[in-house]
Structures are given as structure tokens and as C-alpha cells.
Chain A
Amino acid sequence: MRIVVIIPNAEWQSTAGVRIRYERIRPWIEAEGHSFTLQPIDEAMAASERAGDIYLISKCHDVRSQLLTRQLRAEGCAVGIDFFDDYYSQKQDAAFMHLRAWFRMMTAQVDFGLCSTPNMRDRLARLVPDLPLLVMNDPAIGWDDTALAEGLRAVAQRTRASKVLDIGWFGIGDNPYFSLGLEDLHAFSGQLLQIRARGYQPRLRILTNRRALDTRRLEMIARLPVPSLVEEWSEEAETALIADSLFCFLPVNGQEFSTVKSLNRAVSVLAGGSQVLSTGFPLYDTLAPFIYRDLGELLDHLDADTLRVRPQTLPDLGALMEQIGSAQVEAKRLTAFLETLPRPRPHDWPGQKPVIVLQGSRPQGEIHKQVQRQGYLSAASPRTTAKLAFDLSARSDPDGRFVDVVLRDRSVSRLAENWRGRVAKVSPPAGGDPAPTLRLTQDDLPGLRPMLRVSAPRRELEEQSRYRPDMALMAEIITLIFDRPHLFLSEANSPYWSPEIEAQRSDRAHV
């Protein structure tokens, strides 16, 4: 098999996520005689020769992944999605409408899905029951038994002798959409006070990202119930913090986004020589024998020198990691799973019909250009102010009597034949070179009405009320004059949504 992971861009290859999830299994996959490569999406779209026969879409949430999936499956390649975060199941949340739309469009086409936890698999299975899913755990790195044992012993002894109990917390401290990170630390920190009742003096060290330290979170940190020190996160600092702490505090709240997160943090702590205290949602149940849910129990074990992670239990910890975090095991499971998948039958797509991408509220130039490089048409909606060389746009009469569809030569040639004859070169009202223009009236479109331009400055209240009806009208116009083309919506912002365009795309592509 030739397995290709599609990533958003070349810079993505150097991220920690890619390193942990893909690079660690690559050698084992290649050892089985398969190939395993990462490819940026624009390269994949433009490639004249396919690098793989099985493709995995990873963190590419824009319309290009929909177009590429169509192309690949038409060529007989199987396509899957690597699902990381749950932006899809909270259907009432307006913040992720565009991602849910992407999810619906993609899962109607793809052949399989991957995720990193059983919780995520169960959640996806409820949303797309017919999609084959595989849990591929994030592989863990190993450890030096002797050094780890010595470190564990030293920290426990030092804690008992000095009566100072070092606690670590590390991670991304903020999220623009969810309350987590430092807010979870603050919310669950009250139980740390019992450390004092047991005769120890707690001190907490926090490693986090700078962006998280706004006034609100700084105040939260200042109000933490135990003395704390904050430093900027780095990989080296995290490694040292784990090694130096008696336990790392990993509280987890129960919102849907948090309950499907991977086990990475706990695995890093256990493999790094510290105990894990995790309260709140039992995210780390898979690691249960080595996870503390009750601080009182942890303190009892500390006093009795029977901490869950100690030199004597390292073999058991190793066996568990082998089960859930072995790169070799995960690679083998992945290849076995992929080998069982049926491949799509090659078919002609897009056939003779043009492919048109209608750009939504804030088009991205990169996507617009890629669409055009593929030979597809990039259409502007009235809801955008971007100054890009669109293949078609609409100029609406303020009274709604007509709409002028402004075209380019490459789009004129794709019009349905009966409309081509009505195209005339017309100068724009504001002056400039004449452009091919097709005027549609209420005779052509009985539901025609004015489509107003974006106000300056832009008003979200107006855009919210105009978006859906205008996109529906644009879809109607495009469908009419191009004779039912393959129409896609490129929308990367919420809460913008076009159920009318989505309904057109809801035909399953499986053959």
C-alpha cells in the first residue's frame, strides 16, 4: 500500500502533533513494505501522478479537501479522515456550523475514519454509524527503566523528608471557544488544600502558553489556593517539570470537546516519572491502574511508599504502554485495517459538468487560486468584499428587477449553451473595461430580489440575516446558467451556512 497523509501545508510537518502521531509509526509501516508519506494539500491537488492509493485527510477543513476527495475517489483511491477534536456532535453550538457542514459533506464521501481514543470512536459512530472507524492510539516514547526508577524514588523521598509537595500543571492554558486549561485548573484546585491537612506544604508550578495569560487568567492564577509559579511552556521545561513533581494535576471537565481528548498528557506524565492526579471526567480510565482520582489516596500511598507509579510497578506500566502506545502495534493495526477496506471503483468525475466553488463570507486567496489552478471556477457571492479575480460575480439591481452575472472568458465557455448567446460585453457602472455579462430578470428567476452589498464597515447583524437567502439565490443562478454544475460552498466561518447548497451536495459519492 502507498499511504499518504494530506496536511494543510508544508510547515505542518514540523509540528509536535505530526511527530507524535505519524512519524513514530512511519518506520514500522515501511518495515512492512508499505510507503507512508505526508503531502501538503495544494501539492496533492496539483499532482499529475498520485503518490498513494490510500489517503488520510489530516486537519484540512476547507473546501479543498472535499474537491480532492472527489478527485481521488474517482481515481480509485480510498480516502479517510483523521478526526482529532470533536467539533461535530454539539449540534446546538453555533460556533462550529462551518465545521459541521464540512463534516457532513466529507463523511458522505469518505471510506474510513481514524481517531485516537475509544470515546471519540463511540461519538463518531453515533454520528456516522456506517463509516468504518479505527482507534489509532498516539504512540508513546519509551523510557530508561533505571533512570526513571531512580527519579521516582528520589522525588518521593525528598517529598517525605522536606514535607514540601511539588505539583506540576502544564498545557495550553486557553481556548477561544471552550473553558478549559487554566480555567479547569482554577475550578478543580480547591481539593489541593487537603495537602496541608496531611502535614505537607504544597507548591504548584505551571507551564503554559503566553497567550493564555490575559488579565482574567492572571487573576485566576493569583487566586489559586496554593502558592504557584508560572513559566512559559517548552518541551524541555515540561520534561523537567514532570521529573521534578511528585504528581501532575490533570483535571478534566465534562464538556463534549474535552471528553474525547487523547491520553497524551497522562502518558507523558507517567512515562516522565510523576504520578497523575486526574479529577473531574474520567478521561484516563484506560490507564486506571496508574491514575489517581482521589488526592487522599495519593497522600496515603506517599506516606506508605506505595505510590502507583514506583520502581516496582514499572514493568506493569511498560506492559500497558505496549498495549496502548506502541508504535509497532499501532502501525500493524493500521495497515491491517486499511488492507480490509474496499476501494472505490474508478469513475469519471467531474465528467462534462463544470466544478464551481462559491466563495462565502471571507474567501481565502490561497483556496481561490488553488481552485482555479485545478481548472475549476471560483465564484464570488455578494457576501464577500475580497478583491480577487473571480470567474463570476453578481451585480444586483437595488430594486430587484434584474441581476447581472459578470463572467470571464473561461467561465463563459462553461455556460450552458442556451445562455451563452445572451452574454454581452458590458462596462461596469463604476467604469472600467467591459466584461462578459449575462443579465437575468424576474422572467428567468421568479424569486429574484435585491442582493445588497456588504456594508462598510461590515455589520455582522446584517450579514447574518442576508447570508442564507443570498447564497440560496446565487446557487439558483449558478445551477440555472451552468446547467446543474458540481457546486461547492467554500465557507470557513461560523455561523454562516447554506442548507440549500448542502442539499445539492448530499448525494453520496460511494460507488
Chain B
Amino acid sequence: MSTALPAAFDPEWYLATYPDVALTGMDPVEHYQRFGRMLGRQPSADAPRSRPVLPHLQPDTATAKPVTPATASAAPELAIPRPSRPGPIIDRPAGFNAAASIPGTLLSNVTERTKPLTLAHLADTPQAESATPAALNTYAKLFGLPAPAKSSARASGNLTGFEPFQTGALRIESLWYETTGTLRLRIAGGEDSAAWVLSAFQAVPDSPDVLHPAGESLVLPAEGPALWDIALVHPMMPVLVQATGPDGMVQATALLAFPSLLPGGLHGAEGKALQRTSNPMDSLWSLTEMLVREKLGKTGANAPSLAGIRVSLRGATGAEPIFAAPTLDWLDTLFGLSVTPIDDAEDALTQGEAALRDLLGERAPARPQGDAGLILTLPGDGLPTLSALVSRRLDNDLPENSAAPYLVAEDANLRPRWMVSPAVGPTSDPSQPSIGTPGLAASATEAAALPVPVAVLFRPRNPPHPTRLLLPVAPDALAQDTKPSKIGPLLVVLTAHDPARMEELLRSVQTMAQADFVVRLAGVDKAALRASLNRILGNGGWRETGLETDLRSLAGEGDTELLLTLDDRVVLYDPQTLVSLKALIDRTPDTASASCLLLAERVVKKAAVLSPAVGGLFPARVSFATSPSLGFHEPDTFQPLPSADYAVVANALPLSLWRRDVLAALPTPDGPVPDHAADIHLGLDALDAGYRHLCSSKIRAGYLGEYVRRDEIDPVGTQYLRPALWEAIFRRVTVLRELF
């Protein structure tokens, strides 16, 4: 739908005339573009009275049949007491009558529109010679129903019958979820299809052979484009779209097998991530065709790869899409899959989690899990992708709980946000999906990366309440008498700028670790810094080193197990931070370094606003345009990885805990390494040596001042310009790709 702003738009008049706009806090321009135009509001005092931009018919008065009013009696106007202020918060557009259907022409020679039809009945409708029954037959196969029509000799091989809707006057130019229950199409229209009628049909899962008319039919105008709303009876079931000529003969039928792939649908992120052509509609049709072929086994003789879906109930509330009755019914009817909880009956679940377990348990006996095949394990905010549901080619030798790529969409509006490809290998992180054959342990040989994302996770756009952002686990959740633990011995390489900040940081580190300090004096007033250090640590209790001194050589001089790089802009407000980082390093012997999510704080209108600053370095881009180049960046990791331990290319130096001997053994660089790339260089060298780096958003620390996220191309010069190395890097780190 066009969001063009009329040239005469008067924001002040608009605000004064529609007082609810100010209540929303939105800019009047944005409000008009998003809501006001659709509601039929005036853009200015002088603008001509507009009609709501709702799809309606533009009958050709010369040829249109007489309108037959709907036979149902109109609902009486219901009297709702109104508040004293004039008008509701969101007013009805003029002439909006919610009791009646959207004005349209109901053609008397079409089957009575309110009654459902069977698939056979639909197939029996007279078909033009050009029409093929492919879509209807495919629909039947999807649900294991008898084929309603014989395949014609003209069958094109296209299972979903979309070709007539790809070109010419019937071309569907755009298709999206206008609401979660309405699809909106923009159709090219034209002379060739003038007075043709478009109809849509959809079934509910418990009776897939009974097709309900999905909203009103549309009589195509002589001149397009035309907008048409399909009022769904189910948010995800396949939709049949049929074009009928003025003579009542069906000209074409298409099957929208997986409408949730559309923008605004539950799988919209998958549609976006797998888009292969520049035209989204062409991409949708070809993706749908491919998925249908896979589903029907046209691509090989294997059984469906996925044998079951399990979900973690921890933290789940039941408001997540995976627990919605329409989703569960759809999974059961279309894929023969039920969802079972991974939590044992003996696990201590909350009342809400236990109720979900009961809900899933009531459904499970109806369709037991398959014996052979992969099991997909999801967090509560996840939903399987269509690619995973239909695939017959996933590796059945995947070990249990293998990490798998997934997508992230916004929970409120389903907008695609991220594709996350975790490091290949096993995962025990319940916040991320995993897949594998139950009971199959990881083998010595490296597993192959999964070719498709297996789940969509629905996450809020904004970070949580500041207290929860600051402390993902409340400190009073620990035993009251638990004293913060100390780690050590630890060599701390501190970069100091400000004496007061440095003193405070030193005191907090001393409560957390037995530490020796090597200090790089980066601040202007070095004398003041030295005086502070002497006061806190005592003369001789610390050592000064130059800013250029390489970390590798500093590490080589020490004899502690661990080395901490620290900047005095860091605030360690959680006394458990260093203990938690050490636990992260100790998890596997090949972990070279560990760090955590840093939160930055800025003041906006006298209020402190906390936001995620940095959570590790990631691969950003690969280019072969001039010479091969590899880029790295520090994205906002909070939405894709809000509570996870994940592998990164490198941990940022302001706060990173290292195995000292690993750092000491890294090769010395051939030449000077710029400061802004020092951590990337160390990170890549350690990856090259077979180690990995972990970052955790479950552990948090603060950063005073503004953290400028880096976006670096070839930060370490030509050393890593060997593309053969990149595959090894990408397999062992998390790759984040933005989908917006």
C-alpha cells in the first residue's frame, strides 16, 4: 500500500483535528502514513473528502450484474455508552459499518458465498481449457486426500499452479499479512481480466477437505492495480486462489501452500532469509514450489528428516506461537508432528509451565513421535521453519543437540531481524535451538554445517526493563550467606585513563581476585595515576608498562593461569563477574578467552538510559571485488543473543579473560598492529591455533562513556587474506546476518 504523503499534508491541522494522535506520541506524518490514511482521515482542512483505502470494488456500470444484498439481516446499531470526550480513541472511518461485510459485488451466478465447499466440489466447477488442476491435486496430496481431479495433458509440472498469477493482468504484484488474519494482495489488473472474479478458499486443520470461502470475492477492474483482502479462517493453513471468467469458467487456480512465509507471517523471516531473487513475489512462488516438492517427496525417496519437535518450557508463558492452538493443529494436520516438552515430569516447573506440559501432553497421544529421524529442540519462543519441517535431506547422522542456524523476528510484528549461525558442534544452551538424532554422541570428525535455518525465534525489539538488563539474575536469588568468590592468581593488564575511576575499579577487582597488576598509563595526568596506584596497591605492588607493549610478551612474563585485560572505563558491578568468566573458560580446554556483554549508559533528558554496547566481534562481510577482504564488526547482539553463551571471532580488550599460556604462545606479529585491531589480531591468531573464544550475554558488566562499535575491513592486513582459512573461521564462530 502506498505510504506517499500528500503534498498538502498539514501536520498542525492534523494534530488539532484528531486529538488521539498526540496521545500516541507519534509524529503526525508517521501517524497519517501508517494509520490515518487507511482510516480515511483528512490530511488537511482543504483536502477533498477521501475514502478509506480499503479494497473495494470498482464496478464497471456497463457490464456489472445487479448487486444482490447479503441475505443475512444487518445487525442493529449497538449502543455503547461513549465517554464524555467526542469520539473514541481510534475512530471509525466515515461509512464504516462493522456489522456488514466490506462493500462488494456478490455475483448471483457464483455459488452461494457463505457455504463451505468440498475439494471435489471445487474441482467440479467448470474449468477452462487453459486451467490445470495441479493446485487442487497438490492440495489433496499435502493432506493425504484423494485427488479431486484428473491431471490434464497440459500439466506444466508446476505443482502449485502459480504461473498464471505471475504475469499479465492476473499478476499478483505483492502479497502480505495486513493483519494476522487477513492477507492483502495487489493485483496488476487490466483489460484482459476485466470482470474476472478472484476467490479464495481455506480450510481449518480438523477438516482439510472442507474449504471455506476466505472473505469476499473480487471483481477485477478494467484498469489496475486492485487491492484485495483475503479474510483467513486460519493463520497458517494453505490458501487456494481461483480466477473465474465472466462466463463462470475457472481460468486458473493457485495454491499458496505456506502463506506464513509472507511478510507479516510467522515464517516471514524465513521468506526473507531465503529470498533468492530481487522480486519478492517470484521468490515466494519459487520457494513455495520448492518446499512443496520437498514435502511431497518429489526430490528423493528419503522419509522426512524431522521426526519430532521438543520444546523447553523454562520461562515459557503460553503466549508464544509454538503453544497456540492454531499452530499445534497445523503441525499435526500438515506434518503429522506433535510438540512435546523436554522437561521431565519430575522437574520443578512453575504453575504456568506445568499447565503447558499438561496442554502438550493432552495432544501427544493423538500422534506419537516417529521412531527414526531427527529431533528438533526449541526454546519456548521458537517455531520450526518450513525448511526444517519439509526437508528430507538433513543429515540423519547429526549428533544429538547439534547447534543449528536459526532466524530471529520481532515478537510484536513478526518483522525479520536476524539470521544466526552458531558455531558448528554440540550446544547445551537452552535459549538456542538444536537438532540431532537422539542418543547419537558427537564423533571425532567435524560435523557438517546445516544448510537451512531450523527455527524462527520471536524476540522483543527493545531490551528489557533496565533492572533486568543490568542484572539478568537477581543477586538475592543466591543464598543469603554466599560471599562473592575470588579467583586467582590473576595477572591484570589494566589500561588506565582516570585516577578516580581506576581506583574504584581496582578496589572492586581486589574483592574478586588475587591479582597482580601491570598498568598502561593512557591518561593525560600520569603522575596522578601513579599516585593513585601507589595508594591502592602500594609502592611496588604494581608494574608500569608502555602502551605499545604487546600483550603476548606481557603474558609470557607472567606465571599465573589467567590474564585479564581491563580498561578503567569498565564497571564490574556484579561481584560474581570474574568467577563467571572463569567458569566459561573452564568449560572446555580449547577456550582461549572469555568475555561478557558490556552495557553502556547515556543520559537522555536527565535520565540514565542503559543499552547493550558490545558483546564480541563477528565476521561482517567478505568481498572479492578488488582483492579478497574479510570484515569484522561489533553488532548489537542483544536481540539475537539475549541470554546465550556463544563463540566469537574475538573478545574486545576492555574486558577479556585469557588463558595466559595460550596468549603467550601466540606468534608475534610481523609488524605493528593498530590499537583498534589488536583484539581481532589476537582472536584470529588463537582461532588459527585451534582455540576458540566465548562471550556470554548471561554475564554483564558496565562501560562508562560511549562505546563506538567497530566495523573493520582487513584489520590485520594481508595475513588472513587466504579464503581457505575463512571456512575454518566461520565454522567455529557465530555469524550474525541482519535481515532488515
Q: Could you list which residues of chain A lie within 8 angstroms of chain B, going by C-beta atoms? A: 91-95, 97, 100-101, 119, 123, 158, 161-164, 166, 176-177, 179, 183-184, 186-194, 196-197, 199, 201, 203, 205, 210, 213-216, 218-227, 229-232, 234, 236-237, 240-241, 244, 251, 253-256, 258-259, 279-282, 399, 449-450, 452, 457-462, 464-466, 494-495, 497, 499, 502-503
Q: A218 near B572 (CB under 8 angstroms)? A: no
Q: Could you list which residues of chain B lie within 8 angstroms of chain A, going by C-beta atoms? A: 23-26, 34-35, 72-76, 78-83, 88-90, 92, 98-99, 101, 114, 116, 177, 179-182, 204, 212, 214, 231-235, 264, 316-321, 324-327, 350-353, 355-356, 412-413, 465-468, 470-477, 480, 500, 503-504, 507-508, 535, 571-573, 599, 601, 603, 606, 608, 610, 702-704
Instruction: Tell me which residues across on chain B come within 8 A of A194, comparing CB atoms.
Output: 204, 233-234
Extra 9 A-B pairs, beta carbons < 8 Å, given A94-B471, A254-B350, A460-B610: A92-B477, A95-B467, A162-B76, A186-B412, A224-B179, A225-B179, A231-B88, A281-B318, A494-B467
Known: A225-B232, A459-B704, A465-B504. A236 touches B81 (CB 8 A): yes
Q: A253 near B23 (CB under 8 angstroms)? A: no
Residue among B182, B235, B467, B477 with the highest chain A CB neighbour number at 10 A: B467
From the candidates B233, B503, B610, name the one contacting A193 in the complex (CB within 8 A): B233
Bound CA span A466–B573, Å? 8
Chain B min CB distance to A146 (Å): 20
Instruction: Tell me which residues across on chain B come within 8 A of A256, comparing CB atoms.
Output: 350-352
Q: What are the 3 tightest A-B residue pairs by CB atom distance, in nearest-first order? A: A254-B352, A225-B181, A461-B702
Chain B min CB distance to A353 (Å): 24
Q: A177 near B75 (CB under 8 angstroms)? A: no
Bound CA span A227–B234, Å? 15
Q: B89 near A232 (CB under 8 angstroms)? A: yes
Q: B704 near A225 (CB under 8 angstroms)? A: no
From the candidates A219, A229, A497, name the one contacting B413 in the complex (CB within 8 A): A219
From the candidates A163, A226, A460, name the one contacting B181 in the complex (CB within 8 A): A226
Interface residue SS majority, chain B: loop
Q: B88 near A220 (CB under 8 angstroms)? A: no
Q: A459 near B601 (CB under 8 angstroms)? A: yes
Q: What are 14 A-B contacts defined by CB distance under 8 Å?
A: A94-B467, A123-B351, A162-B76, A191-B326, A196-B212, A197-B233, A225-B180, A237-B81, A237-B82, A240-B79, A452-B500, A465-B702, A495-B471, A497-B476
Q: A92 near B316 (CB under 8 angstroms)? A: no
From the candidates B319, B465, B702, name the one contacting A188 in the complex (CB within 8 A): B319
Known: A237-B83, A258-B352, A461-B599. A162 touches B72 (CB 8 A): yes
Bound CA span A177–B467, Å? 10
Instruction: Tell me which residues across on chain A come within 8 A of B24, comparing CB atoms.
Output: 213-215, 218
Bound CA span A421–B204, Å? 86
Q: B99 near A465 (CB under 8 angstroms)? A: no
From the candidates A92, A190, A201, name the one contacting B473 in the complex (CB within 8 A): A92
Chain B min CB distance to A206 (Å): 9
Chain B min CB distance to A39 (Å): 32
From the candidates A119, A193, A199, A216, name the one contacting B326 in the complex (CB within 8 A): A193
Instruction: Tell me which residues across on chain A come within 8 A of B88, comparing CB atoms.
Output: 229-232
Q: B608 near A210 (CB under 8 angstroms)? A: no
Q: A95 near B465 (CB under 8 angstroms)? A: yes
Which single residue of chain B is at the shortest CB-CB distance from A282? B355
Instruction: Tell me which residues across on chain A come within 8 A of B352, comparing CB atoms.
Output: 253-256, 258-259, 281
Bound CA span A188–B181, Å? 12
Q: B571 near A461 (CB under 8 angstroms)? A: yes
Q: A215 near B26 (CB under 8 angstroms)? A: yes
Known: A188-B319, A193-B326. A201 touches B83 (CB 8 A): no
Instruction: Tell me which residues across on chain B come within 8 A of A177, comparing CB atoms.
Output: 465
Residue among B116, B318, B412, B606 with the highest chain A CB neighbour number at 10 A: B318
Known: A237-B81, A461-B573. A201 touches B101 (CB 8 A): yes
Q: A227 near B473 (CB under 8 angstroms)? A: no
Q: A162 near B99 (CB under 8 angstroms)? A: yes
Bound CA span A6–B712, Å? 62
Residue among B99, B317, B472, B500 with the highest chain A CB neighbour number at 10 A: B317
Instruction: Tell me which residues across on chain A come within 8 A of B90, comparing CB atoms.
Output: 218, 221, 229-230
Bound CA span A186–B75, Å? 26
Instruction: Tell me which residues across on chain B come within 8 A of A452, comparing CB atoms.
Output: 500, 504
Q: B474 near A223 (CB under 8 angstroms)? A: no
Q: B23 near A213 (CB under 8 angstroms)? A: yes
Instruction: Tell me which residues across on chain A come within 8 A of B471, comparing CB atoms.
Output: 94, 464, 495
Instruction: Tell me which residues across on chain B come within 8 A of A219, comparing CB atoms.
Output: 412-413
Q: A223 near B413 (CB under 8 angstroms)? A: yes
Q: A225 near B235 (CB under 8 angstroms)? A: yes
Q: B571 near A91 (CB under 8 angstroms)? A: no
Bound CA span A62–B316, Å? 32
Q: B474 near A279 (CB under 8 angstroms)? A: no
Q: A461 near B35 (CB under 8 angstroms)? A: no
Q: A460 near B601 (CB under 8 angstroms)? A: yes
Instruction: Tell me which residues across on chain A come within 8 A of B324, comparing CB atoms.
Output: 187-188, 190-191
Q: A91 near B474 (CB under 8 angstroms)? A: yes
Residue among B35, B325, B353, B480 with the highest chain A CB neighbour number at 10 A: B325
Bound CA span A437–B565, Å? 43
Q: A210 near B89 (CB under 8 angstroms)? A: yes
Instruction: Tell me which residues across on chain B come within 8 A of A241, comparing CB atoms.
Output: 80
Instruction: Tell me which residues across on chain A come within 8 A of B571, comparing CB atoms.
Output: 461-462, 464-465
Q: A229 near B92 (CB under 8 angstroms)? A: yes
Instruction: Tell me which residues across on chain B come within 8 A of A201, comparing CB atoms.
Output: 99, 101
Instruction: Tell me which residues across on chain B come within 8 A of A95, comparing CB atoms.
Output: 465, 467-468
Which single residue of chain A is at the shortest CB-CB distance from B475? A497
Instruction: Tell me which residues across on chain B come within 8 A of A224, comparing CB atoms.
Output: 179-181
Chain B min CB distance to A168 (Å): 10
Instruction: Tell me which residues across on chain A come within 8 A of B508, comparing CB atoms.
Output: 465
Which single residue of chain A is at the shortest CB-CB distance from B178? A223
Q: B75 near A399 (CB under 8 angstroms)? A: no
Q: B319 near A184 (CB under 8 angstroms)? A: yes
Residue among A189, A191, A218, A399 with the highest chain B CB neighbour number at 10 A: A218
Q: A255 near B573 (CB under 8 angstroms)? A: no
Bound CA span A465–B82, Å? 52
Q: B73 near A162 (CB under 8 angstroms)? A: yes
Chain B min CB distance to A204 (Å): 9
Q: B35 near A222 (CB under 8 angstroms)? A: yes
Q: A187 near B319 (CB under 8 angstroms)? A: yes
Instruction: Tell me which residues across on chain A come within 8 A of B318, comparing CB atoms.
Output: 253-254, 280-281
Known: A190-B235, A218-B35, A229-B90. A158 touches B75 (CB 8 A): yes
Q: B465 near A176 (CB under 8 angstroms)? A: yes
Residue among A101, A162, A196 with the highest chain B CB neighbour number at 10 A: A196
Known: A162-B74, A460-B610. A234 touches B468 (CB 8 A): no
Instruction: Tell me which residues across on chain A come within 8 A of B477, comparing CB atoms.
Output: 91-92
Chain A min CB distance to B685 (Å): 32
Bound CA span A216–B412, Å? 7
Bound CA span A101–B480, Å? 11
Bound CA span A452–B507, Å? 13
Chain A min CB distance to B353 (Å): 7
Which single residue of chain A is at the shortest CB-CB distance from B320? A187
Q: A93 near B234 (CB under 8 angstroms)? A: no
Q: B316 near A254 (CB under 8 angstroms)? A: yes
Q: B181 near A495 (CB under 8 angstroms)? A: no
From the candidates A188, A240, A459, A503, name the one contacting B480 in the complex (CB within 8 A): A503
Which single residue of chain A is at the shortest CB-CB distance from B500? A452
Q: B233 near A196 (CB under 8 angstroms)? A: yes
